[in-house]
Amino acid sequence: MKVIIIGGERVPYFLAKKLIASGYKVYFVNKDKELCEEYSRTLNATIIYGDGQSKAVLDHLGIEPDDIVVLLTERDRKNFFIARLVQEYYKVRNVVTFLNNSENEDLFDRYGIRTLKVTDLIMQNIEPLLFENEVVEMINDEASNRGATVLKVDVDWDSKIANKALHELKIPDGIVVVGIVREDKYLIPRGDTIIKPDDKLILICSEEQSKAAMEIFFL
């Protein structure tokens, strides 16, 4: 069994290195001549300079049904085309591909092509950040110039409030913790909620209490 990586730039390099270290035979197909030259010096893999969308090029690889084909070209349509070529002509069972536009997943699914939804993955990662931003902006819009301010607190490992329950902080009137951003969750805090390192606290306080808030959360 061999692993055939078609297209891509840096991902194939690190992928190939790992696979080779685990004892797999790796083939790398790319249209970029310089990249092929570089990898032929640095990787212990079979490097093929050519267009993976061409059956004539694929024919050189001696692809067999139990090989794994990984598709990393920049367009969904190209990856789909190559996936179908290797399924149709060499009966490859396992094809994995990058998927840029997640709405195309249904078509890939229909042909049993595994997809890595890159855009979705990135979106999932930044969504909590976007949400946090939106919350802060929303409260800020309402609060600013009306006697209240919004503060954001990044909790470090050595922060004095880390690993404490909110009620232990003895937060005075005029200061409210309205949210804790933890990984991809937005927590609605209660008195017994434990603050953890890497949390982000969003708090709202009256202008008179902002100094007190700084002392509790930052110093």
Partner 1 sequence: MKQINYRLYVIVVGCGRIGLEVATHLSDTGFDMTIVEKSPDALSALPENYGGFTIIGDATERDVLKRAKAEKADLLIATTGDDPTNYFVSLIGSKIFGITNVISLVRSKENVTLFENSGIRVISPINLAIETFQRSILEGVEPAAGDDK
The contact set with partner 1 (CB under 8 A) reads: 53-56, 75-78, 80-81, 84-85, 88-89, 101, 103-104, 106-107, 110
| Cβ proximity to partner 1, 101 vs 124, nearer residue | 101
| Cβ proximity to partner 1, 5 vs 83, nearer residue | 83
Cα gap 178→180, rounded to integer Å: 7
| Cβ proximity to partner 1, 111 vs 218, nearer residue | 111
State the nearest-atom distance from the C-beta of 31 to partner 1, in Å.
Answer: 13
SS3 214: helix
Query: CA-based diameter of the chain, in Å?
Result: 75
Cα gap 188→185, rounded to integer Å: 10
Report whether 112 contacts 89 (CB < 8 A).
no
Cα gap 172→59, rounded to integer Å: 74
State the nearest-atom distance from the C-beta of 101 to partner 1, in Å.
Answer: 7
SS3 72: coil
State the nearest-atom distance from the C-beta of 121 to partner 1, in Å.
Answer: 20
State the nearest-atom distance from the C-beta of 4 to partner 1, in Å.
Answer: 18
Count Cβ atoms within 10 A of the Cβ of residue 41 and give its class: 0-12 exposed, 13-18 middle, 19 or more buried. Answer: exposed
Please list the alpha-helical segments (H only) found in 117-209: 118-143
| Cβ proximity to partner 1, 103 vs 183, nearer residue | 103
State the nearest-atom distance from the C-beta of 94 to partner 1, in Å.
Answer: 19
| Cβ proximity to partner 1, 87 vs 209, nearer residue | 87
